[in-house]
Amino acid sequence: MFLKKVDGLRAVKLPDGTVLTRADLPPTDTRRWVASRKATVVRAVVYGLLGQTEALAMYDISQEEFASWLQSMQLKGVNGLKITQLQQLRGEHR
C-alpha cells in the first residue's frame, strides 16, 4: 500500500480520544454540506490537520462561511451547524 505525499499531519487526536485523519475529510467536490461534514472540516482546522487557508481552497468556501461554522460549533456544537440552527442564529427563522 502506498500513501499519498501530503504536507502537514496525516492524523490528529481529538480531545475525546478519537483520531481524525485526512481520509475522514469530506470529498473535495462536496456540494451538500450537512452538519457532520461541516463539523469534520471545522475540527480538522481547529486541531491542526488542515490549515484554514487550505480548507477554504480545498472546499471552495468563503472565510465568512467558515467563520460562521466555527462560531456555530463553539456555541451549540454539531447541532449548531444544522441549517435550522444557523437560520435562528442569523434571525432568519420565521
Report in angstroms the alpha-carbon separations of 33 from 8, 38, 41, 59, 68: 25, 6, 10, 10, 13
Percent pLDDT > 70 in the chain is 81
3-state secondary structure of 58: helix
- Would 69 be classed as within a structural domain? yes
How confident is the model over 45-79, as pLDDT tens digits?
Answer: 999 999 999 999 999 999 999 999 999 999 999 99
Report the predicted TM-score, pTM, of the whole model to 2 decimal places: 0.82
- Would 68 be classed as within a structural domain? yes
- Would 4 be classed as within a structural domain? no
- Would 80 be classed as within a structural domain? yes
- Would 58 be classed as within a structural domain? yes
Q: What is the CATH number of the domain that holds 36?
A: 1.10.10.10
33 band by pLDDT with thresholds 50, 70 and 90: very high
CB 48 within 8 A of CB 19: no
Query: Domain range for residue 71?
Result: 32-90
Nearest to 6 by CA among 59, 63, 51: 51
- Would 22 be classed as within a structural domain? no
Q: Which residues of 31-42 are buried (b: 16+ CB within 10 A; e: fewer)?
A: eebebebbbbbb
- Would 3 be classed as within a structural domain? no
Question: What is the number of structural domains in the chain?
Answer: 1
